[in-house]
Amino acid sequence: DVKVTQSSRYLVKRTGEKVFLECVQDMDHENMFWYRQDPGLGLRLIYFSYDVKMKEKGDIPEGYSVSREKKERFSLILESASTNQTSMYLCASSNPGTRVSNQPQHFGDGTRLSIL
């Protein structure tokens, strides 16, 4: 069974702090994703990575950065946390699909981040 583990379920930080959210997957997946989940807005993609040291911006990358130094680990960084970054953050991983097949994304349990 695929395991995607996020380091914290709940996190409280202060405005201006640098915040690290960690995600580890144990299935040797090539792709990893960070989403933000807000009521009424669904899952919005922040950043994704398709290989070690590779990263691509998603739909809402402003105020965030990522790091992927090892295949199994994908970190989301809030450079200077602000109150509008209070949200649920979900990490996911998958293998790449092909033109004729798809690989499902497997999600972690999420980190509920509060910025005070």
Partner 1 sequence: GENVEQHPSTLSVQEGDSAVIKCTYSDSASNYFPWYKQELGKRPQLIIDIRSNVGEKKDQRIAVTLNKTAKHFSLHITETQPEDSAVYFCAAGFSGSARQLTFGSGTQLTVLP
Residues that bind partner 1 in the complex, under the rule CB under 8 A: 4, 31, 33, 35, 40-45, 48, 50, 56, 58-59, 90, 94, 96-102, 104-105, 107-110
Query: Given the complex with partner 1, which of 87 and 94 has the nearer CB atom?
Result: 94
CA 30 to CA 42: how far, in whole Å? 24
Query: Given the complex with partner 1, which of 29 and 81 has the nearer CB atom?
Result: 29
At closest approach, how far in Å is the CB of 61 from partner 1?
A: 12
For residue 84, list its beta bridge partners: none
Query: Given the complex with partner 1, which of 9 and 18 has the nearer CB atom?
Result: 9
At closest approach, how far in Å is the CB of 12 from partner 1?
A: 18
Query: Given the complex with partner 1, which of 33 and 81 has the nearer CB atom?
Result: 33
Taking CA atoms, 10 is separated from 66, 88, 108, in Å, by: 20, 9, 13
At closest approach, how far in Å is the CB of 99 from partner 1?
A: 5
Q: Are 108 and 5 in contact (CB under 8 A)?
A: yes
At closest approach, how far in Å is the CB of 106 from partner 1?
A: 8
Beta strand segments in the chain, E = 4-6, 10-13, 19-25, 31-38, 42-49, 56-57, 64-70, 73-78, 87-94, 106-107, 111-115
